[in-house]
Chain A
């Protein structure tokens, strides 16, 4: 078995990625995915 894929950090990331809502990327007037996210993604440096 690929040991890296059994790494918990990788598994956690793949789990998050699995639940990304890609449909939000295709519409021009969407409720985009990160609006429901608990993450604060802010572009400012």
Chain B
């Protein structure tokens, strides 16, 4: 179960091009009130499991300030029976020694958003003035490492950057990242289809194949690429814990600074379940009709899935990345990418290492 807490709403200090067309309001300054934070922690304390995984997110979550984060730790301590697992996903541009020390002292896990090398990152991840943010972000990463924090990296791939697979992978590895995840950009939060950033299934499939070859050539057991682990798990007849493989979209929620609860942020704000104020406890959320209706809707399977060998390992992919099939049922946009990539990996393994 995961909660993506948008403590500053969509407020962000940078202006990534691929966020431009989404229904984000990046310029409206917002921070969750301490009163809402207290209600949020009480809500999370009502989760049935012992652990509460909280992903502090944005916009850029560090814009909430260190004082706010100190409140997080203080309030979580009011619920000592719960094991709090705090994760921050940040663009890293605001990280200083104070932040790094806070993360170390309080056991926060950190993920950063870096889109490869300076050249590729700066194509889309720019400041309000239009300048590339790579140097500022990597300065933040360096500070984290000086404090012995080894951040994971999420690298967003768009139609503009998909051709730079080699540069991106080698850039991330040479920058010291060991835990790499690639997000295929698909503009689900906007009503507009086919925007200039969204990846086709062919693009995504080609990108994954290139990354696989580069990863093999790199021959380093310490480099984990989320997407490769996921498909190699299929080879072993398993599914990884990644939400887009598990059919577990109904166990991932976004909560914004006002306490409003949505499905995963990838859906934007089209679907709204209610507010932590009205639900109070988790059980009231998952028994609410708005949640149940949505949950039922995402588990309707297209015909293609019902005869697919990999259904239990794929579960029709990310439910926000789906398009209607010929019967109007939503099918995972990157279904063919997964199948193609699986065939490719299987063939590579059967071939005994020779490139196809």
Q: How far is the CA of A40 from the CA of B99 in the complex (A)?
A: 18
- Minimum CB distance partner of B222 in chain A: A12
Chain A residues near B351 (CB, 8 Å)?
4
Is B50's CB within 8 Å of the partner chain A?
yes
* A9 and B51 in contact, given A2-B349, A4-B353 (Cβ under 8 angstroms): no
Chain A residues near B87 (CB, 8 Å)?
40, 42
Say which size band chain B's interface belongs to: 35 or more
Is B35's CB within 8 Å of the partner chain A?
no
Say which size band chain A's interface belongs to: 35 or more
Total cross-chain contacts (CB, 8 A): 135
Is B264's CB within 8 Å of the partner chain A?
yes
Chain B residues near A7 (CB, 8 Å)?
216, 219, 353
Since A20-B233, A34-B2 are in contact, a sample of 13 more A-B pairs with Cβ atoms closer than 8 Å, ordered by chain A residue number, is A3-B353, A9-B215, A31-B51, A35-B1, A38-B152, A39-B226, A41-B181, A42-B154, A43-B243, A43-B244, A43-B265, A43-B266, A45-B185
* A4 and B216 in contact, given A9-B223, A14-B232 (Cβ under 8 angstroms): yes
* A41 and B241 in contact, given A2-B349, A13-B232 (Cβ under 8 angstroms): yes
Chain A stretch 3-43: residues in CB contact (< 8 A) with chain B: 3-5, 7-18, 20, 22, 24-25, 29-35, 37-43
- Minimum CB distance partner of A22 in chain B: B238
A35 touches B53 (CB 8 A): yes
Q: How far is the CA of A29 from the CA of B89 in the complex (A)?
A: 25
Is B183's CB within 8 Å of the partner chain A?
yes
Chain A residues near B223 (CB, 8 Å)?
9, 12
Chain B residues near A33 (CB, 8 Å)?
241
Of A11, A35, A37, most buried by chain B (CB within 10 Å of CB) is: A35
Chain A residues near B238 (CB, 8 Å)?
17, 20, 22
Q: How far is the CA of A42 from the CA of B89 in the complex (A)?
A: 8
Is B260's CB within 8 Å of the partner chain A?
no
